[in-house]
């Protein structure tokens, strides 16, 4: 019977297995389509189907735990090796947790990004940061000018503050 592994040996075995799995991975299919940016991406299903068998073949299990918080949703990604080492990280994204469809969509999005980051894979077309250059909350345009004086019958002109 062999001696139990030290924590350092467990962690070393985990990283060695991650490197082995990454070297065996082929390109992840990009079956998802983003019509807004006209790009393709790997869906969560694409990522799981492409990676889980390869990581399992080197003794790595991957799981994700989801929860809600006062600010939105959380996804904890855990990567464990048969030797006993575990690495984990949590991502939290804002979300209206009173809307089940938004919760489900945000959780899937968070799981997909957390998983591809943790596994060191590229699962999207490179847009050269174009998406980040588009403002997420554009300034609304006004339909009428603000601050025009108007005349109220029998009174002095009043200042109209419009939609302020």
Residue 11 within any structural domain of the chain: yes
Which CATH number is 26's domain given? 3.30.390
Residue 57 within any structural domain of the chain: yes
- Alpha carbon of residue 49 to chain centroid: 18
Report the domain count for the chain.
Answer: 1
Task: Report which of residues 64 and 158 the model is more confident about.
Answer: 64
The whole domain housing 13 covers: 7-127
pLDDT in tens, 41-76: 889 999 999 999 999 999 999 999 999 999 999 999
Residue 96 within any structural domain of the chain: yes
Mean pLDDT of 17-38: 91
Which of 33-47, 64-78, 138-152 comes out lowest in average pLDDT? Answer: 138-152
Task: Report which of residues 148 and 96 the model is more confident about.
Answer: 96
Entry pTM = 0.73
What's the Cα-to-Cα distance from 119 to each of 6, 28, 41, 96, 109, rounded to whole Å?
24, 12, 16, 28, 16
Residue 42 within any structural domain of the chain: yes
Residue 152 within any structural domain of the chain: no
């Amino acid at each position: 019977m062999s001696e139990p592994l030290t924590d350092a040996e467990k962690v070393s075995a985990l990283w060695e297995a991650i490197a082995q799995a990454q070297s065996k991975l082929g390109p992840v299919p990009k079956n998802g389509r983003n019509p807004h940016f006209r790009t393709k991406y790997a869906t969560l299903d694409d990522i799981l189907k492409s990676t889980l068998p390869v990581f399992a073949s080197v003794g790595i299990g991957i799981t994700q735990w989801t929860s809600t918080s006062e600010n939105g949703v959380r996804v904890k990604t855990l990567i464990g090796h048969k030797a006993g080492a575990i690495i984990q990280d949590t991502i939290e994204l804002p979300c209206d947790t009173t809307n089940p469809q938004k919760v489900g969509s945000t959780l899937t999005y968070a799981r997909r990004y957390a998983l591809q980051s943790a596994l060191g894979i590229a699962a999207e077309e490179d847009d050269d940061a174009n998406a980040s250059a588009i403002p997420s909350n554009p300034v609304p345009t006004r339909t009428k000018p603000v601050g025009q004086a108007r005349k109220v019958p029998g009174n002095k002109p009043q200042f109209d503050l419009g939609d302020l």
